[in-house]
Amino acid sequence: MFNPVTIPFGSKMLFNAVKLKPGVTANDIELALGEMCHVVKETYGNEAGGFIAGQVFAYAGFISQEGSVSSVKVPDYDVAIVTYWSSFEQHEKSHADQTFNDKFSALAEMCSDTFELGFDMLWQGVPGE
């Protein structure tokens, strides 16, 4: 659960920004989020399913002035769900599946907004290589 992940070159990354409803905290969504992530990992984490790895982040309030090109806009999202897939089509197929939707709907009830952006990997590297 807390082990490092290895992402193969050419993977698709999906970035889901989540805005929680007023009064809902990251702690409040922990169970729903954990169940949803478990279903994705166990149901779609094979060659046919295409799921490679995932990570969940809570917005911590810091913004990089050095890494920002234009005026800094304070994000209006509380949680980021980052997943890596063999293909965008496999991602979409998994998310259209009732097994996933049963778990995602529990999380969505506590959200006022979510959107998921897809990215193609252009580069990756580690120190020393």
Query: What domains appear along the chain, each with residue ranges and CATH number?
Result: 12-61+76-120 (3.30.70.100)
- Residues 37-91: tens digit of each pLDDT: 999 999 999 888 999 999 999 999 887 877 777 776 777 899 999 999 999 999 9
97-117: average pLDDT: 94
- Supply 40's token pair: 């994705």
Cα gap 62→101, rounded to integer Å: 32
pLDDT for res 88: 96
DSSP states of 39-102 = HHHHHH-STTT-EEEEEEEE--S---STT-SS-------SEEEEEEES-HHHHHHHHHSHHHHH
93-109: average pLDDT: 93
Residue % of the chain over a pLDDT of 90: 76
**8 Å CB contact between 10 and 87:** no
Q: What is the pTM of this model?
A: 0.89
